[in-house]
A and B are shown apart, each in its own frame.
Chain A
Amino acid sequence: DQQVKQNSPSLSVQEGRISILNCDYTNSMFDYFLWYKKYPAEGPTFLISISSIKDKNEDGRFTVFLNKSAKHLSLHIVPSQPGDSAVYFCAASAWANNLFFGTGTRLTVIP
């Protein structure tokens, strides 16, 4: 049973535009959410996180939004750059326990 879902396997965006990556979860006990970026042959790199007590967290070009009632979070990248091209994973945890990951979204930023 997939508790964290990323329903878009891929996304293409023009350089300079906004990239929006989406993630849905089913477990209402999740209280911490993270986004990781992964290049081929490398481990996931932590990007940004959000606690369930917040609905928005921003770090430079990256903003994560959390909608607890819809059990949905999204990652916004503005402006998108070619170096952002990678696979993005959404992850969630409850009480600082193990992470549950989605299946990833491949982002391609077109120059």
Chain B
Amino acid sequence: DAGVTQSPTHLIKTRGQQVTLRCSPKSGHDTVSWYQQALGQGPQFIFQYYEEEERQRGNFPDRFSGHQFPNYSSELNVNALLLGDSALYLCASSRTEAGSETQYFGPGTRLLVL
């Protein structure tokens, strides 16, 4: 049973560029959430997708956008990259049903913006 997978593992971009990160959820999961983890901090919620729509959003600017596909996989897009966007980006999946609140995380994509 494959867990949550993310690609790429590492990425280096320059300021102003755009980046797309990808996530495949755990088998049987239909909900994908994205988090940003800065160095020395806990993960911060970016947004959550369910049924191909953004269901919740954290306190992140519109430069951060996403998409969920019919197979439940998801993408995170960040436009006009800033130095402060350098972080570990984590994808988590879960099932949308009562009693299934646990989110399972992928290994993350480490983004460095120069």
Contacts and interface: CB of A to CB of B under 8 A. Distances in A.
A102 B56 contact: no
A44 B90 contact: yes
Size band of the interface chain A makes with B: 20 to 34
Interface string A73-111: 000000000000000010101001111111110000000
Given A43-B108, A93-B101, A98 B48 contact: yes
Interface residues of B, number: 26
A34 B109 CA distance: 23
Nearest to B98: A96
A59 interface: no
Nearest to A102: B42
A98 B56 CA distance: 8
Contacts of B41: 103
A97 B56 CA distance: 8
A65 interface: no
Contacts of A62: none
Contact of B45 (A41, A49, A98, A104): A98
Interface of B: 4, 6, 33, 35, 40-45, 48, 56, 58, 90, 92, 96, 98, 100-108
Given A96-B96, A98-B48, A101-B44, 20 more contacts: A4-B42, A41-B107, A42-B107, A43-B106, A44-B43, A44-B105, A46-B103, A46-B104, A46-B105, A49-B102, A93-B101, A96-B98, A96-B100, A96-B101, A97-B56, A99-B35, A99-B43, A99-B92, A100-B45, A103-B41
